Amino acid sequence: MKRLLLGAAALALTTGFTGAAQAEFSLRILHINDFHSRFESITGTDSTCNAEGEQKGECFGGIGRLKTEIDLKRKEAQDAGENVVLLSAGDNFQGSLFYTQYKSQIVAEFMNDMGFDVVATGNHEFDDGPSEFAKFLAAAKFPIIGGNYDTSADPDLQGRPRGVIVLNIAGEKVGVIGATTEETPEIATVGDVKFESVTEYVKGAVGALEGAGINKIVVLSHIGYPVDQKLAEAVSGIDLVVGGHTHTFLGDVPGSVGPYPTIVKNPDGKDVPIVTAGQYGKVLGDIKVTWDDAGNVTSTEGQPILLDASVTPDQGFVDRLAELGKPLETLKAKVVGSSTAEIVGDRNVCRVEECGMGNLVADAQLDRVRDQGVTISIANSGGLRASIDAGDITMGEVLTVLPFSNTLATFKIKGSGVVAALENGLSQIEDIAGRFPQVAGLKFTFDKTAPVGSRLVGDVLVQDGDDWVPIDPDKEYGVVTNNYVRGGGDGYEIFATDSIDAYDFGPPLEDVLADYIAKQGGTYTPYTDGRITDASPAAEPEAPAEAAPAAETPAAPAAETPAAPPAETPAPATESTPAAAPTPEAAAPAMEAAPAMEAAPAMEAAPAMEAAPAMEAAPAMVAPEAAPAAN
């Protein structure tokens, strides 16, 4: 395994804002996560908001509102003499037609212009493979950090990005450690990139930073709110976790599941604040942390800021987005049908139970290939990215729900394989993981409190004419899913290893869905029918997450009724032993209005990497003449 090392020699390369170090040091951190290329504003149910919704004041987020609020809060901080940085906890790729059309280029250009200081790697940054991630690294004028993964064997990434960066702010050094979910190889296309334990990596990185005399340490993570808490509980020396991945809202905003910040105790009994900022740019996190000269956090204060209609979008960004959106308008505006009610695709519903969007997609898949002898349909809930409101359904909405350019895949597998696949789908329900199965042509009951691998209750039932009968473990069944799941994605390895006569090159999934809606006469009524039953015993009430500690400046109040976070079983912590420090990389150039970054430490046993050359500004995008064909 690679280990992060930081030598004292690296400190000599640090440049940044001048100023004497103070006995007390404060840093204001603005942050987002799980933006998913949602450049347009969204509705309260996370579908794309239209002009009428904007006029009625019903829209949230969007890149224009983010720009406005970031500029405002940054100026407020600077006018007050405060230190301020802007962070992203990853997953800026994938989730809208803009990403489908422009890929990483549009993400880099807008993030460059918002002035991000450090950006973490999300699992979706690997959706189009390391080659697209490498383009993002080249176009970004801000540092992107990795962490618990090794890219030295990948021809596109060649050891990039660095895992840790040190910011020099007013004479104080702040170490920022990256961490990306260990599940990334199962849910994205990572090529030759190798992942290791988050806990093990962060423990080694903290030790290396402390060994270099740096006592202010932030983990910028994309591992999920439950894992963030376990990590902070397991590793001493972390002062703050700024997280993402589970799209978790905290604080006094709609959908909150806990206080902002959430406080846990580390192994030394010290309080560690954890913050995260929901999804899709709907809120901007804003946390101020104060340390004493010994590196102890003495206070935290802040509130997530809801970007609703009270925030006026930056007109320059709105105009740029409109120009970039012109080639997409014809495709987006095509009406493929209508819905009599909202089709629920909310991740917090579809990843734990039967949902309307899951039934629609699973039914559409099965309907398309039923005449080929296929009787079972399985859709991973992670592939469902939005809800659709009642009324007209446009192709743009369909593509927002299904943005991954997946194709329909069919194969045969024994009934025992189907059962094993369902157990995989239920194995991380407490993490609200995307592997939860939405189905058609079968029924099952589960107990989420049972041990992993034994969560199905009773028989899995398959349809036999008008009857439902127990699945035969030795019989071969025809199954339809998408090419990603058929290839083993989201932990469905059994589909990759045990499938028979697999064909992964069917029609695009978005076309399958649009055609199915049209086949219903153009009007669709969403429904659930009990095909998936949750038989879990009622959970005993748990105490809400601990509020922020009493300090000089109190933390933001918790939401009125925070729910207990889902359980998590992290990888065991393993002690890492730093070796002699290698020669550090050359320092990155200072960025305008941002603190200069210290060179990243190299990883043990990794080949020496040359300093990355200074990057020229990415060329402005020119909107193509026509919308791309679906693929």
Q: What is the pLDDT of residue 289?
A: 98
Pairing verdict, β 532-534 and 442-446:
parallel
Q: Do 227 and 96 fall into the same domain?
A: yes
Q: Do 304 and 372 fall into the same domain?
A: no
**CB within 8 Å of 276: residues ≥ 6 apart:** 33, 89, 225, 228, 242, 243, 244, 246, 248, 249, 250, 285
Q: Is 269 part of any domain?
A: yes
Q: In what order do the strands lie in the sheet with 172-180?
A: 262-265, 271-276, 240-243, 217-222, 172-180, 164-169, 597-598
Domain that holds residue 586: 8-313+556-598
Residues written for the chain: 631
Q: Is 516 part of any domain?
A: yes
Q: Do 436 and 567 fall into the same domain?
A: no
CB atoms within 10 A of CB 318: 21
Q: Do 443 and 573 fall into the same domain?
A: no
3-state secondary structure at position 145: strand
Q: What is the pLDDT of residue 465?
A: 87
Q: Do 513 and 562 fall into the same domain?
A: no
Residue ranges in the chain modelled with pLDDT below 50: 1-21, 545-631
Rounded-to-integer distance, Cα 540 and Cα 517, Å: 42
Q: Do 573 and 483 fall into the same domain?
A: no
Q: What is the pLDDT of residue 329?
A: 85
- Which domain CATH number covers 470? 3.90.780.10
Q: Is 606 part of any domain?
A: no
Q: What is the pLDDT of residue 332?
A: 83
pTM above 0.75, yes or no: no
Q: Do 269 and 407 fall into the same domain?
A: no
Q: What is the pLDDT of residue 385?
A: 93
**CB within 8 Å of 151: residues ≥ 6 apart:** 130, 157, 158, 159, 160, 161, 192, 193
Q: What tens digit of pLDDT does each residue of 140-171 get?
A: 999 999 999 999 999 999 999 999 999 999 99
Q: What is the pLDDT of residue 213?
A: 97
**Which DSSP category does 545 fall into?**
P
Q: Is 629 part of any domain?
A: no
Q: How many domains does the chain have?
A: 2
**CB within 8 Å of 85: residues ≥ 6 apart:** 27, 28, 29, 30, 117, 118, 167, 169, 594, 595
Question: Cα angle at 142 between 273 and 596, to 5 degrees?
Answer: 80
CB atoms within 10 A of CB 616: 9
Q: Do 105 and 65 fall into the same domain?
A: yes
Helix, strand and coil in the chain, % to nearest 5: 30, 25, 50
Q: Taking phi first (over 0 means left), then psi (-120 to 50 degrees means alpha), and beta for anything else, what does residue 457 get?
A: beta
Q: Is 490 part of any domain?
A: yes
Q: Do 364 and 292 fall into the same domain?
A: no
Q: Is 118 part of any domain?
A: yes
- Which domain CATH number covers 173? 3.60.21.10
Q: Do 177 and 214 fall into the same domain?
A: yes
Q: Is 546 part of any domain?
A: no
Q: Do 279 and 408 fall into the same domain?
A: no
Q: What tens digit of pLDDT does each residue of 469-518 get?
A: 999 999 999 999 999 999 999 999 999 999 999 988 788 899 899 999 99
In angstroms, the Cα distances linking 342 to 52, 96, 356, 403 are 18, 19, 9, 19
- Residue 388 has φ and ψ, to the nearest 5°, of -125, 125
Q: Is 610 part of any domain?
A: no
Q: Do 387 and 289 fall into the same domain?
A: no
